[in-house]
Structure 1
Amino acid sequence: MTTQTIQYEYAPGHFRASEPSVYGPDDLREGEMILNMGPQHPSTHGVLRLEVVTDGEIIVDVVPHLGYLHRCFEKHAQSLPFNQTIPFVDRLDYLAAMNAEHAFVMGVENMLGIQNDIPKRTEYIRVLVAELNRIASHFVAIGTYALDIGAYTPFLWLMRDREHIQRMLEWVSGARMLYNYIWIGGLFYDLPVGFEERCREFVLYLKPKLTELQQLVIENEIFIKRTANVGVLPLPVAINYGCTGPVLRGSGLRYDLRRVDAYSVYPELDFDIPIGTGAMGTVGDCWDRNNVRVLECHESLRIIEQCLDQLTGPHRRTTDYDPQAVVPKKIRPKAMDFYARAESSKGELGFFFRTDGRADVPVRCRCRSCSFHNLSVISEISRGAMLADLVAVIGSVDIVMGEVDR
């Protein structure tokens, strides 16, 4: 028996475990150099590599490289029934899992034609937990952003307040981050007894804390100097790159799918859409994007209060309410191509489905992640900036790599 040794040769352009660099020594002009920021760099949070071309301290170009946290979400979704995919949806943007579940579930319900059969109490609970999760996601964005640019205390304060939300969502679903709570046709379970009262106490607790956050971070003189007129994203550029969420609204466009598409019970709720105004610098800078997130937390509290009024009033808890009454026993949509979207904490999160009408597993499932589009604009708004400002630009976009490298 003979053993044959096979030698593999990797020519330029062949697949590698990590994407090769775009720039080579022959592409640089005199005085330029290539720096790799990440994946080990703290501001890239372990799973993003930025290929940075610099001329001294000035950024010439930035190329994001992905592939360090591949979720295989779309492959999973094409191998499992719709209802078994929800745990994988949680793992896209793991900081806003309720928002992702809400988008995915509404898409399947619309394909099945049962969207009008969902009880109002179920819809208000969905919006309630989604807005709680939106605040928790923004707290991570603002807290880690402050940490990236040198402020330690805001991170601790925001993680302290976020913990209250995590405990409430754990009380509801049994999990701290990956919930599998919003089901197709309903919910895993009704709100625990006493949850509404506990949530009202939290709202009263958080309102003055948001005022403190505004004073401690957003209006802090050092924070303003680090973020105002830095990473300016003009509105036409944001639109051309497909940016959504606080990144787009920070550039001055009042575009929010909760208003534009008016899904779930959002049309019945009163809330505003904050936008960037250039109050401390230029419209669309890093300061505007962070300020929009803080203002959105105020609006989410308004939404939560209105949901609580409904859940303790017209749509209060009753003995005959069953959160799983409309959950279909068999999920088999008609043959169609369908796209569903919703406003996640970071922007438009969409799901494309292709079904053949014969199976409860989609023929094709595609995720339109807001973080991917928002990340793509980094090179556009970083050119000409100082190297130290690149960290501020990355953090202001608020990306989650589980959703980018889905």
Structure 2
Amino acid sequence: MSGTPEQGSTAGDGRGPAAAGAVWGDEERLTGEVEVRQTGTKLEPRHEYTVAAGEWQNLPDAVEDDLMVINMGPQHPSTHGVLRMVLTLDGETVVDNQPVIGYLHTGIEKNLEYRPWTLGVTFVTRMDYLSPLFNELGYCLAVEKLLGIVDEVPERANAIRVALCELNRISSHMVWLATSGMELGSTTAMIFGFRERETILNLLEEVTGLRMNHAYIRPGGLSMDVPDNFAERVHKVLAHLETKINEFEDLLTANPIWIERNKGVGILTAQQCYDVGATGPILRSAGVSHDLRKAAPYCGYEQYDFDVAVTDTADAYGRYLVRIQEMRESLKIVRQAVDGLPGGPVMVADKKVAWPAQLALGPDGLGNAKDYISKIMGESMEALIHHFKIVTEGFVVPEGQVYVPVESPRGELGYHVTSNGTNKPYRVRVRDPSFIHIGTLPALTHGLLIADVIAAVASLDPVMGGVDR
């Protein structure tokens, strides 16, 4: 007989009995028994997993004990980037979850070893792309500590750093609310979250020239001062955001569907958080009041009045409550920073670190202002040469190594920076909280249904740009 399937048969995919000359007639479809005719060999009848394969109770008993392994990702809309999870399932229940990373590897840490210290800011700001200012701040604080100029950074620069980072924290949590809502079927939350985030990105663009990846925070201070109407613009944005956060709570906090999908899902106890090093909203949702802005203040955080948001549910719903409260506390911090904004410069006076002229945006929001260019070109040839050398070659940092952590929207973001006494880093090692939290997935999702895996992963708020680096 020819190896071509006859009319009324179903061709296989090369792996099942329909391959290489299988004939599936109507009788075989109904009974689930398949006869393969090839070189005179007849196989034993077997059951097929098809809709016409008969009653499920007639399947072999061994099938009831089989586990199934499937891939979720890396191209999946609910994995917050190119994250792959290899799920072992017993029916629809997760028995094991092995995360696979590396799909977004950028080599940023290695690239830093070939760039002057200041240029490193343009690399680190692109790792966790939802909170770029925190990467800039952590890196610059580490460089400043190596240089021994932490106390020389102007108060105005520190106040602006705090204000912008807290606005960045709110915008990051807005994205989390938007994406988490979308994954659980709340398109309204998605629209609200991305819409309100725009108000913050527009403000950051006015200050830094870019909506994201700002490269605004520099070793020794800031690249430029804020606009004259900064305080007025910030207060307008704060008033707007305060009402919108209330809308978020009205939409989700008491929503029975939101509660059902998040309460009791993705539980990580305080001890489990300690075991793996989980920090941020995950640790605080387990009842631990740990926040680096309080525990190890930097940039003058000890001067600000705010509370650490804590719950004790240890689940996805608790992480939602923590992030909502954190946004409210960030509003308080920004308001205090702007109201008490001191005058003065925004860069250290050390000419070996600071650029000779202060950067400024042009009237179109792009490029450099005319006054800035005139100052560089018009002072003296010596000043121009110095400017050229410090921009292209950078400054030398004394030998040593430091570890500096900051409290990012996702938890402890740490920079371990090593200098060998040259104008480039010897090694920069980043402790990204998303990388740590991805390691909690086996414990976080064990025993959950597949649908609840989505909510559990979303509650971690991982950003794969920070995981792979």
Do they fold alike, i.e. is TM over 0.5?
A: yes
Looking at structure 1, the residues matched to 253 and 123 of structure 2 have their Cα atoms a distance apart, in angstroms, of: 35
Aligned to 1:402: 465
Corresponding letter in the other structure for 2:279:
T
Corresponding letter in the other structure for 1:102:
L
Aligned length: 367
Looking at structure 2, the residues matched to 39 and 169 of structure 1 have their Cα atoms a distance apart, in angstroms, of: 31
* Larger radius of gyration between Structure 1 and Structure 2: 2
Corresponding letter in the other structure for 2:404:
A
Corresponding letter in the other structure for 1:397:
L
Deviations 1:225-244 (A, max 9, x none): 00001111111001110111
Query: Which of 115, 121, 136 is the equivalent residue of 2:150?
Result: 115
Query: Which of 289, 298, 302 is the equivalent residue of 1:267?
Result: 302
Indicate yes or no: 2:321 matched with 1:291. Answer: yes
Corresponding letter in the other structure for 1:372:
F
Q: CA deviation at 1:214?
A: 1.0
Q: CA deviation at 1:300?
A: 0.2
Corresponding letter in the other structure for 1:294:
I
Q: CA deviation at 1:46?
A: 4.1
Aligned to 1:341: 405
Indicate yes or no: 2:332 matched with 1:332. Answer: no
Aligned to 2:159: 124
Looking at structure 2, the residues matched to 208 and 325 of structure 1 have their Cα atoms a distance apart, in angstroms, of: 41
Q: CA deviation at 1:325?
A: 3.8
Q: Does the 8 Å CA contact 2:76/2:82 hold for their aligned counterparts?
A: no
Query: Which of 290, 293, 305 is the equivalent residue of 1:258?
Result: 293
Aligned to 1:5: none
Aligned to 2:220: 185
Q: CA deviation at 1:380?
A: 0.7
Over 3 Å counting, the alpha-carbon distance change for 1:268 and 1:362 in structure 2 is same
Q: Secondary structure at the match of 1:43?
A: coil
Over 3 Å counting, the alpha-carbon distance change for 1:284 and 1:88 in structure 2 is same
What's the RMSD between the two structures over aligned residues? 1.4
Aligned to 2:439: 376
Q: TM-score when scaled to structure 1?
A: 0.88
Q: Does the 8 Å CA contact 2:80/2:463 hold for their aligned counterparts?
A: no
Q: CA deviation at 1:322?
A: 5.0
Indicate yes or no: 2:333 matched with 1:300. Answer: no
Q: CA deviation at 1:324?
A: 5.9
Q: Does the 8 Å CA contact 2:167/2:200 hold for their aligned counterparts?
A: yes
Over 3 Å counting, the alpha-carbon distance change for 1:29 and 1:264 in structure 2 is farther
Q: Secondary structure at the match of 1:349?
A: strand
Structure 1 residues without counterparts, runs of 5 or longer = 1-27, 278-282
Q: TM-score when scaled to structure 2?
A: 0.76
Looking at structure 2, the residues matched to 238 and 161 of structure 1 have their Cα atoms a distance apart, in angstroms, of: 31
Deviations 1:7-40 (A, max 9, x none): xxxxxxxxxxxxxxxxxxxxx9932101100112
Query: Which of 257, 271, 274 is the equivalent residue of 1:236?
Result: 271
Looking at structure 2, the residues matched to 52 and 236 of structure 1 have their Cα atoms a distance apart, in angstroms, of: 24
Query: Which of 351, 361, 382 is the equivalent residue of 2:415?
Result: 351
Corresponding letter in the other structure for 1:284:
A
Structure 2 residues without counterparts, runs of 5 or longer = 1-62, 355-389
Aligned to 1:158: 193
Over 3 Å counting, the alpha-carbon distance change for 1:145 and 1:189 in structure 2 is same
- Between the two structures, name the one with larger relative contact order (CA 8 Å, sep ≥ 6): 1
Looking at structure 1, the residues matched to 349 and 447 of structure 2 have their Cα atoms a distance apart, in angstroms, of: 57
Q: Percent identity?
A: 39
Q: CA deviation at 1:67?
A: 1.3
Q: How does 1:32-71 map to 2 (within 5 A)?
A: 32-71=67-106
